[in-house]
Amino acid sequence: MHDLNHPKVKPFTREIASALSIDQSFTDFVFAKNRPDCFQYWVEDVNGGWTCYVPDEFDAAYPLWSTNADQTVILVSDSAMAFGKGWHDNPEMEMISATPQGLLTYLVIQLAESGSPDAELRQAADFCGYKYLDDLLAFIDLPTPDSTWSEVTRQFIAAIDAKAS
């Protein structure tokens, strides 16, 4: 692990995934050595980044992958698990979702916004075990003003979390 990481940041292992009851397809995606090209940039080696802050209410943060030196992490406490983005240069945590499927929703939205065609999104969804691609494609096609896109997206991810729980 990177020396610049917050002290609560610990390596993610298959044993930790099993103890947290994380779906095997998600775990396989995290540990995959080769992924479809559309994941380039968005899902880089975890050692390519670091997390400088972990909220007090969490006991540990397990990095899953890195994007431009910022790590996507599982945050764990005795009573909760959440997924977030830890910044390498900002003492904040972007809370993303409560489930792996919610996190994958966030990731696939990023792929779609970067111009991946539907066929690539389907390949990506199959590869990472994302179960809600049809819902996501319908969501993306809805007319949403730019001013509310972030809030509507958070609500959509929360709805996927609820379905996946």
pLDDT digit string, tens, across residues 57-84: 999 999 999 999 899 999 999 989 999 9
Reply yes or no on whether the pLDDT at 89 is more than 90: no
Q: Which residues contact 40 (CB under 8 A, 6 or more apart)?
A: none
Is-contact 106 97, C-beta < 8 A? Answer: yes
Please state, rounded to an integer, the average pLDDT across all residues of the chain. 94
